[in-house]
Amino acid sequence: MQRYLVRRLLAVIPTLFFASVIVFLVIRILPGDAVDLMIKSSPFIENTEEMRRQIELDLGLDQPMHMQYVRWVSGIIFHGDLGTSLIRDTSVGAEIAERVPVTMTMGLLAVLFALVIAIPIGVYSAVRQDTLGDYVGRSFAILGLAVPSFWLGTMVVILPAIWWGWSPPTRLVPFVEEPLRYLSVFVIPAAILGASLAAVTMRMTRTMMLEVLRQDYIRTARAKGLEEWLVVTRHAMRNALIPVITLVGLFIPIVIGGTVILERIFVIPGVGQLLLLAVQDRDYPVITGIFLVVGVFVILVNLMVDLSYGLLDPKVRDQK
């Protein structure tokens, strides 16, 4: 297990490097120029060649690209500094840090919601394969996949407002003061986001369960005289859910994409909202900062998934 762990951790380093290079380059390839925008949107800056050069010099944009990269990365590594917002002159790191808990809460709730709903339904569907219950479960899964969350989110905000003049809560109170009220803001968007994840999870769970239930060791378990629910929970689920866990790693990008939209619809001040603003303003440091944080997060979650996979599979766990 220790060797496995070290190997996994070392593998993260090149991944991080490539992720940072891509994040850095992509934003510079996109059309549109922050300096243009700054000059145009500010009444205090004169639109002269001199002024433009001065701004570029201040921001280090006059340097060759690889020097810019080195400066950016060493700032992050040695000072934990993600840079300063071009528009608002605030620390990018602080801006992101302020919003991360909001987005994390939303994402975690969505994933939790998906797992809690999907695993029991998936297991049930497999055990009762081709019965009415299975068809109902599978229909819900297809529905969950087919309905886009931006549409569902919009409907949930608009329809109750039209019908009853009610709209979902959006005002965030500090978690430490009123945890339940804090969480209540997230319930609806997290459920919407979780629905599409639940659909995928349910189908995967069902497929894996069907696969496992055909195995010889399940027959052995039955031949021992085990009750069917014990066969399912003790002998089948344990093996079927190992691959389902890897799904959670794959979810993270979907969750992040989804929160950008849902934070917008439900007016929740998370990282997604910050990203939308930054893109509108061509605020490079903020965009790259968010991308980098998200990228690192995805890599870390996948690492954790890998490790938990190891914990569940005795073959991987025992590797010396």
Partner 1 sequence: MTSLLEVRNLKTYFHSDGSVVKAVDGVSFDVRAGETVAVVGESGSGKTVTALSVLRLIPDPPGEIISGEIRFAGRDLLSLSEAEVRKIRGNRIAMIFQEPMTSLNPSLTVGRQVGEPIEIHQRASRKNAWDKCIALLHKVRIPDPEQRANAYPYQFSGGMRQRAMIAMSLACEPELIIADEPTTALDVTVQAQVLHLLKELTRETGAALVIITHDLGVVARYADRVNVMYAGRIVETGQTSEIFNNPKHPYTVGLMNSLPRLDGDVRFALQPIEGHPPDLANLPSGCAFQPRCQYAVDRCLAKPPELSEVNPEHLAACWVDLNVTA
Which lies closer to partner 1 via its Cβ, residue 79 or residue 214? Answer: 214
In DSSP notation, 279-310 reads HHHT-HHHHHHHHHHHHHHHHHHHHHHHHHHH
Q: Give the C-alpha separation, 237 to 220, whole Å.
A: 15
Select from 105, 196, 201, 239 the one that contacts partner 1 (CB under 8 A).
239
Report residue 135 as tokens: 């068809």
The region of 83-91, 118-126, 235-243, 296-304 touching partner 1 under the rule CB under 8 A is 235-243
Nearest to partner 1 of 57, 311 (CB atom): 311
Buried b (16+ CB within 10 A) or exposed e, 214-223: eeeebeebee
Q: Are 298 and 248 in contact (CB under 8 A)?
A: no
Closest distance to partner 1 from the beta carbon of 226 (Å): 6
Please say which residue, 136 or 316, places its beta carbon nearer to partner 1. Answer: 316
Q: Looking at beta carbons only, is 232 or 260 nearer to partner 1?
A: 232
Whether 278 contacts 269, CB under 8 Å? no
Nearest distance in Å: CB 235, partner 1: 5
To partner 1, the closest distance from the beta carbon of 201 in angstroms equals 20
Between 193 and 241, name the residue whose CB sits nearer to partner 1: 241
Q: Which is nearer to partner 1, 4 or 69 (CB)?
A: 4
Instruction: Indicate whether 146 belongs to the interface with partner 1 (CB under 8 A).
Output: no
Token output for 166: 């009610």
**Residue 111 C-beta: closest distance to partner 1, Å:** 23
Which 206-225 positions form the footprint of partner 1 (CB under 8 A)? 215-217, 219-225
Query: By CB under 8 A, what part of segment 23-52 binds partner 1?
Result: none
**CB-nearer residue toward partner 1: 146 or 223:** 223
Whole-number Å distance between alpha carbons of 64 and 47: 24
Burial of 209 per CB tally in 10 Å (0-12, 13-18, 19+): buried
For residue 311 the two structure tokens come to 């914990």
Whole-number minimum distance, CB 8 to partner 1, in Å? Answer: 21
What is the C-alpha separation between 41 and 176, in angstroms, rounded? 39
Q: Which of 151, 238, 300, 311 binds partner 1 (CB under 8 A)?
A: 238
Residue pair 297/234 in contact (Cβ under 8 Å)? The answer is no
Q: Nearest approach, Cβ of 124 to partner 1 (angstroms)?
A: 18
128 binds partner 1 (CB under 8 A): no
Cα maximum dimension of the chain: 86
Q: Is residue 227 at the binding interface for partner 1, with CB under 8 A as the rule?
A: yes
Tokens matching residue 185: 């803001």
Per CB under 8 A, the segment of 84-92, 150-158, 171-179, 310-318 that binds partner 1 is: 310-318
The distance of closest approach from Cβ of residue 205 to partner 1 in the complex, given in angstroms and rounded to an integer, is 16
Q: Is 308 exposed, middle or buried (0-12, 13-18, 19+ CB in 10 A)?
A: middle
Measured from the CB atom, the residue of 155 and 311 that comes closer to partner 1 is 311
Whole-Å CA distances, 222 to 123, 132, 225, 227, 230: 17, 25, 5, 7, 9
Note the residues at the interface with partner 1 (CB under 8 A).
215-217, 219-227, 230, 234-235, 238-239, 242, 312-315, 318
